[in-house]
Amino acid sequence: MSVLGLALPVTFTDHLPVNSRSRHRPVVQCSNERQILFNRIAPVYDNLNNLLSLGQHRIWKKMAVSWSAAKTGDYVLDLCCGSGDLAFLLSEKVGSNGKVMGLDFSSEQLAVASSRQNLRARSCYKCIEWIEGDALDLPFDDCKFDAITMGYGLRNVTDRDRAMREMYRVLKPGSKVSILDFNKSNQPIATFMQNWMIDNVVVPVASFYSLAKEYEYLKYSINGYLTGQELETLALEAGFSSARHYEISGGFMGNLVAVR
Ligand X SMILES: C/C(=C\Cc1cc(O)c2ccccc2c1O)CCC[C@H](C)CCC[C@H](C)CCCC(C)C
Among 31, 32, 53, 191, binds ligand X (CB under 6 A): 53
194 binds, among ligand SAM, ligand X, none (CB under 5 to 8 A by kind): ligand X
The region that residue 107 occupies, defined by phi over 0 for left and psi between -120 and 50 for alpha, beta otherwise, is: alpha
From residue 120, alpha-carbon distances to 42, 84, 92, 96 in Å are 19, 12, 12, 14
Specify the pairing of strand 253-259 against strand 242-248. Answer: antiparallel
The region that residue 39 occupies, defined by phi over 0 for left and psi between -120 and 50 for alpha, beta otherwise, is: alpha
For the bound state, the minimum distance from the C-beta of residue 215 to ligand X, rounded and expressed in Å, comes to 5
For the bound state, the minimum distance from the C-beta of residue 98 to ligand SAM, rounded and expressed in Å, comes to 19
Residue 200 CB-half CA count within 13 A: 6
Rounded to an integer, what is the distance from CA 247 to the centroid of its chain?
A: 16
Encode burial over 106-128: b for 16+ CB neighbours within 10 A, e otherwise. Answer: bebbbbbbeebbeeeeeebbebb
Nearer to ligand SAM, 17 or 40 (CB): 40
Question: Over the Cα atoms of the chain, what is R_g?
Answer: 18
Q: Decide if residue 28 touches ligand X (CB under 6 A).
A: no
Amino acid 109 reads Q
Helix (H) or strand (E) holding 174: strand 171-182
Cβ atoms of 110 and 103 within 8 Å: the answer is no
Number of residues in contact with ligand X, rule: CB under 6 A?
22
Nearer to ligand SAM, 32 or 227 (CB): 32
Q: Which residues are near ligand SAM by CB under 6 A?
A: 31, 34, 38, 80-82, 85-86, 104-106, 109, 134-136, 151-153, 156-157
Q: Decide if residue 214 touches ligand X (CB under 6 A).
A: yes
Nearer to ligand X, 111 or 197 (CB): 197
Among 198, 226, 234, 243, binds ligand X (CB under 6 A): 198
Q: At what angle do helices 56-68 and 31-52 cross, to 10 degrees?
A: 120
129-168 positions binding ligand X, by CB under 6 A: 152, 155-156
Q: Decide if residue 41 touches ligand X (CB under 6 A).
A: yes
Q: Decide if residue 52 touches ligand X (CB under 6 A).
A: yes
Nearer to ligand X, 52 or 77 (CB): 52
217 binds, among ligand X, ligand SAM, none (CB under 5 to 8 A by kind): ligand X
202 binds, among ligand SAM, ligand X, none (CB under 5 to 8 A by kind): ligand X
Q: Decide if residue 91 touches ligand X (CB under 6 A).
A: no
Q: Binding residues for ligand X, per CB under 6 A?
A: 41, 45, 49, 52-54, 56-57, 152, 155-156, 194, 197-198, 202, 214-215, 217-218, 221, 249, 252
